[in-house]
């Protein structure tokens, strides 16, 4: 039985990618393998985009408004200065400046350690997410909540939450790329758990500070997972294709072996 600390989403990724790799090892044609991963990534994107569209439709109809207002009124009635100060620090983890620095540092590390496909994935996922977020905000143009005085500054429209979306894309993708390089399964689980905690805390902070409705947060998380999941599947497909056609490109970018212990002689491991 899977450990509860993995979380439901972590278990889903385990099942999906384990099944895909099992199929890939037995596929004779590299193009078939590439297609399997692309189709799977597309399926993930479609499922979560459909879930996003369902939330968006309910928001358009106003059916989420009573629930949204009830949560916002509850948050407004439970404002504590010390908690608000903590939430301001947490919400800063999802701002463009902080997210950009994380992507820059992680991307440089990956590039300089010859994990260039991973670096490109991180940049493409982040930039694509920013473009998608802006387009969706313009399209829906939902006004920000006005239930109580905001605890932070916000200028764009409310739906979907850009902080929730970018946190899933950036922290989720960084965790995924870090886990691929780790040799110990417990370290991988811890990486995903820490990323999940950061994502959840950023999401909660946006509601607590009064700048987003809960439905904004849910929509941002769903569309973020859709985009990030598709990008991850594309990376897996590209690397499997390269392994069959140009293995020299993947000398330093092979995922860690399942359950293997750290070793300075293993591919992708650099001794300090």
Q: Both ends of the chain: CA-CA distance in Å? A: 36
Q: Please write the tens of the pLDDT for every residue from 200-242.
A: 999 999 999 989 999 999 999 999 999 998 888 888 777 776 6
What domains can you pick out in the chain, each with its CATH number? 4-248 (1.20.144)
Please determine, for residue 7, whether its predicted confidence score (pLDDT) is greater than 90: no
When mean pLDDT is compared across 127-131, 178-182, 265-269, the lowest value belongs to 265-269
Please determine, for residue 53, whether its predicted confidence score (pLDDT) is greater than 50: yes
CA-to-CA separations, 192 to 99, 160, 180, 247, in angstroms, rounded = 17, 24, 11, 28
The two three-digit tokens of residue 43, written as one number: 């399926």
The confidence score (pLDDT) of residue 232 equals: 84
Q: Please write the tens of the pLDDT for every residue from 82-128.
A: 999 999 999 999 988 899 999 999 999 888 887 888 888 899 899 99
Please determine, for residue 258, whether its predicted confidence score (pLDDT) is greater than 70: no
Share of the chain above pLDDT 70, in %: 74
Mean pLDDT of 58-81: 91
The answer to whether 205 and 90 are in contact (CB under 8 A) is: yes
The confidence score (pLDDT) of residue 270 equals: 41
The confidence score (pLDDT) of residue 18 equals: 63
Mean pLDDT of 9-35: 57
Please tell me the pTM assigned to this model. Answer: 0.77
Mean pLDDT of the chain: 79
pLDDT-derived band at 8, boundaries 50, 70, 90: very low
The two three-digit tokens of residue 24, written as one number: 């890939």
Q: Please write the tens of the pLDDT for every residue from 118-170.
A: 888 899 899 999 999 999 999 888 889 888 888 777 788 889 999 999 999 99
Element of type H or E holding 57? helix 30-61
pLDDT-derived band at 179, boundaries 50, 70, 90: confident
Please determine, for residue 36, whether its predicted confidence score (pLDDT) is greater than 70: no
């Amino acid at each position: 039985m899977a450990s509860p600390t993995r979380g439901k989403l972590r278990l889903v990724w385990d099942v999906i990618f384990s099944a895909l790799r099992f199929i890939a090892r037995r596929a004779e044609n590299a193009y078939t393998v590439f297609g399997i991963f692309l189709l799977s990534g597309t399926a993930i994107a479609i499922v979560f985009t459909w879930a996003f569209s369902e939330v968006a439709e309910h928001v358009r109809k106003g059916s989420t408004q009573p629930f949204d207002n009830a949560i916002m009124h509850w948050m407004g009635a439970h404002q504590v200065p010390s908690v608000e100060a903590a939430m301001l620090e947490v919400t800063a983890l999802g701002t463009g400046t902080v997210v950009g620095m994380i992507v820059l540092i992680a991307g440089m590390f990956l590039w300089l350690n010859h994990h260039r496909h991973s670096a490109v994935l991180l940049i493409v996922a982040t930039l694509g997410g920013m473009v998608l977020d802006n387009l969706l905000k313009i399209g829906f143009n939902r006004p920000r909540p006005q239930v109580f005085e905001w605890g932070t500054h916000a200028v764009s429209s409310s739906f979907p939450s850009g902080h929730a979306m970018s946190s899933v894309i950036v922290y989720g993708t960084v965790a995924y790329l870090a886990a691929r390089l780790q040799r110990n399964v417990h370290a991988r689980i811890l990486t995903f758990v820490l990323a999940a905690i950061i994502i959840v805390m950023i999401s909660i902070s946006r509601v607590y500070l009064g700048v987003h409705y809960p439905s904004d947060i849910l929509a941002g998380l769903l569309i973020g997972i859709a985009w990030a999941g598709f990008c991850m599947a594309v990376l897996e497909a590209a690397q499997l294709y390269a392994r069959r056609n140009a293995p020299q490109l993947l000398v330093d970018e092979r995922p860690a072996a399942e359950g293997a212990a750290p070793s300075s002689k293993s591919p992708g491991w650099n001794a300090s």
